[in-house]
Chains A and B, each alone.
Chain A
Amino acid sequence: MSSAATTSPSVDKVDGFSRKSVRKAKQKRSQSSSQFRSQGKPIELTPLPLLKDVPAPEQPELFLKKLQQCCTVFDFMDTLSDLKMKEYKRSTLNELVDYVTVSRGYLTEQAYPDVVKMVSHNIFRTLPPSDSNEFDPEEDEPTLEASWPHLQLVYEFFIRFLESQEFQPSIAKKYIDQKFVLQLLELFDSEDPRERDYLKTVLHRIYGKFLGLRAFIRKQINNIFLRFVYETEHFNGVAELLEILGSIINGFALPLKAEHKQFLVKVLIPLHTVRSLSLFHAQLAYCIVQFLEKDPTLTEPVIRGLLKFWPKTCSQKEVMFLGELEEILDVIEPTQFVKIQEPLFKQISRCVSSPHFQVAERALYYWNNEYIMSLIEENSSVILPIMFASLYRISKEHWNPAIVALVYNVLKAFMEMNSTLFDELTATYKSDRQREKKKEKEREDLWKKLEDLELKRGLRSDGIIPT
């Protein structure tokens, strides 16, 4: 990131703004947050010497003083206010980032609460409202965080602090507690992708290092997801949280704890139902596949869950589901496959018949997958009867010629697999259609009889129509 190097804070040289933006900024002043209105007079920070310019024994104390100074927050909505001081703080933060990265012996016990306090002051805030009422993450440009020039450095500093060789979780845990973590999680709703990216790294480190906070973090993430799925369908940080979860699931010990299996079934599967699935589908699918690689017996509940939530009106989601399902089938064990093949292929049969050609195509391309083909072949006596009727019908009725051609290939594959069964099914198809026609005829005859009966009755009873 671009920033001034660790030269002396150039407080006298701040003059970066063009006249046009000065005018614009004056107009925007009214939008500033009430967080800053209490600060009546302009902020004045006394410039401190640079850390590298003081002898080593004095550095820890100077470090704390600088942390204290950086607790002052500035109003970035008012672009022109306190420019000199903003630059001073930015420069100081830069210095702190470098100091934390290279120094040794600076981390006294006193530093921990001061670091946490400085970080908290800067990052914990009410997130700015979205510019538009209905922010659609798929379509709209995100509202970028105005105070990013400072915030970015605070995050950078905090991460290096957490990753420092001198960092001791046993001391830090007094200050990085549940309350801190809760506020951190709320920030994942930030619209600014850069902030979420930093938060992801921060939370990942905290989860890794603070064993005592892990259960709490998992619980809170559960709550966020459940609220997202069942109440609001709004949260900007789902993808980032899922990425962290991916690294956690990957590290699960075997046998899997019941709590984790619950999470899979009660939280991860229902996450597939939200409208904005495309924003985090890659991360969600990764988590699902990781679970299945840890414990293949979870395959049945996972696939049944997906089938239960199969999209009925959104073709785009249907294609996503088919993609994810193929990834699951790619790692499935044959014993597990046999357990779910019936409901699975009933759904696939519906998909290949879909009038939406992309859905039909995606489903038909399962027959392009060698492993899936081998599983189908092994169980063709079960699968072919499920698929035959739709395949034949589609070969005659579908509007899209490419789909029809794909279907022909699938039929050919089935015929090659098991031509006896194929012929049997053809015969069954004929007799089914005949039986249907017979029933239809019987039904029509019955109605006709009833009509005649009504007429006769009507004529007999002196023209009075019985009600």
Chain B
Amino acid sequence: MFLCCSPNFSARRHQKQRTNHSSRSLHLPRRRAQPLALCSANGLPASLAIDQSAANTDFLNTAGQRAKRVSQIRIRRASPRETPLTPMGLPKAKRLKKKDFSLEEIYTNKNYKSPSTNRSLETIFEEPREKDGALLLIGQQRRRRLLLFPDFTQPRKRKRPQGTGLPVARKRTAARRHGSGADDDADSDVRLVQRLSALEDFLTRQGLEV
């Protein structure tokens, strides 16, 4: 099933791989999601339709027809207008873009406009708060009450300061990063591969499965 939210792939990732920075981000070539290929109305790509008509020409000639050659008939290469599709692949409803609607349009809901995605609500206090002598039941600040999931392929900025309750020891890469980053990283790669190959060899020799 096609997921509605495919991750954004960053071209910078290739660059990162080349420079071999030992940053936390995982540097690999990314698999790019292929968009759905749009076909013409009869299900064939336009070019193929043309080829078919050329083939028709030959067929007619060998059959001995004296009629006008098919290739002489002008083919209208009307590329079908892209039907706008929703992410699920269904035809998207066409909404009128104007501001003033006729009476008929109003009464038949042709003036439909999606409710604004701004939608923010004020906090409602369980216990009324006192402010300037008055009792406040509802806050003043409006906020969006939904969690917008960020692009997980991008490293994220943490909201909380690092210091909150986090133990001090962060030995690993913090120290090593200050050294020659590139060398260290390549070094790690080598060591990892060594270990994994050793393990694999052992298993193979012993006739064991992975």
Which residues of A pack against B, CB within 8 Å? 1-3, 14-18, 21, 76, 79, 86-87, 138-139, 141, 144-146, 148-149, 193-194, 196-197, 200-201, 204, 207-209, 211, 242-244, 246-248, 250-253, 278, 282-283, 285-286, 289, 315-316, 319, 323-324, 326-327, 330-331, 333-335, 358, 361-362, 364-365, 367-371, 373-374, 377-378, 392-393, 395-397, 400, 402, 405-406, 408-409, 411-412, 415-417, 419, 422-423, 426, 429-430, 433-434, 436-437
Contact = CB atoms under 8 A, between A and B. Distances in A.
Contacts of B169: 378
A2 B112 CA distance: 11
Given A16-B103, A243-B145, 20 more contacts: A16-B104, A141-B93, A148-B109, A200-B121, A204-B124, A244-B145, A251-B123, A251-B124, A252-B126, A253-B126, A282-B148, A282-B149, A323-B149, A330-B159, A370-B158, A374-B166, A393-B210, A411-B196, A415-B188, A415-B192
Contacts of B137: 208-209, 211
A150 to B, nearest CB: 10
A144 B195 contact: no
Contacts of B59: none
Contact of A193 (B103, B115, B152, B158): B115
Contacts of A402: 28-31
Contacts of A253: 125-127
B152 A362 contact: yes
A430 B202 contact: yes
Contacts of A335: 165
A368 B3 contact: no
B90 A139 contact: yes
A360 B194 CA distance: 25
Contacts of B3: 316, 319, 358
The secondary-structure label for the interface of chain A is helix
B133 interface: no
Contacts of A334: 165-167
Contacts of A283: 145-147
A251 B202 contact: no
B103 A17 contact: yes
Contacts of B196: 392, 395, 411
B74 interface: no
B26 A368 contact: yes
B28 A251 contact: no
Interface string B84-105: 0000101001000001111110
Nearest to B138: A208
B52 interface: no
Interface of B: 1, 3-4, 7, 24-31, 88, 90, 93, 99-104, 106-109, 111-116, 119, 121-127, 137-139, 143, 145-149, 152-153, 155-156, 158-160, 162, 164-167, 169-173, 176, 188-189, 191-192, 195-196, 198-200, 202-203, 206-210
A278 B4 CA distance: 9
Nearest to B7: A361
A72 B116 CA distance: 30
Nearest to B189: A412
A251 B139 contact: yes
Contact of B203 (A278, A422, A430): A430
B72 to A, nearest CB: 41
A85 to B, nearest CB: 13
B195 A423 contact: yes
Given A16-B107, A246-B121, A437-B208, A409 B28 contact: yes
Nearest to A16: B103
B147 to A, nearest CB: 4
The secondary-structure label for the interface of chain B is loop
Given A197-B115, A251-B139, A370-B24, A146 B170 contact: no
A331 B152 contact: no
Given A330-B159, A416-B172, A430-B202, A79 B24 contact: no
B170 A377 contact: yes
Contacts of B31: 400, 402
A14 B210 contact: no
A220 to B, nearest CB: 16
Given A208-B124, A208-B138, A327-B149, A408 B103 contact: no
A397 B210 contact: yes
A246 B170 contact: no
B192 A411 contact: yes
Contacts of A323: 149, 152
25 contacts: A1-B111, A15-B103, A87-B103, A141-B93, A148-B109, A193-B115, A204-B122, A208-B124, A244-B145, A248-B124, A251-B139, A278-B4, A282-B149, A285-B149, A323-B149, A323-B152, A368-B25, A368-B152, A370-B24, A373-B24, A392-B210, A395-B196, A411-B196, A430-B202, A433-B208
A233 B22 CA distance: 48
A18 to B, nearest CB: 6
A330 B157 CA distance: 10
Nearest to A429: B199
A21 B104 contact: yes
B199 A285 contact: no
Given A16-B102, A248-B124, A316 B1 contact: yes
A373 B25 CA distance: 11
**9 closest A-B pairs (Cβ-Cβ)?**
A16-B103, A246-B145, A197-B115, A282-B146, A285-B147, A208-B138, A247-B121, A286-B147, A251-B125
Contacts of B195: 415, 422-423, 426
Given A334-B167, A402-B30, A370 B147 contact: no
Nearest to B28: A405
Which of A18, A285, A324, A412 has most B Cβ within 10 Å?
Answer: A412
A406 B158 contact: no
A368 B24 contact: yes
B192 A412 contact: yes
Which of B148, B189, B195 has most A Cβ within 10 Å?
Answer: B195
Contact of B191 (A17, A148, A374, A415): A415
B145 A367 contact: no
Nearest to B114: A193
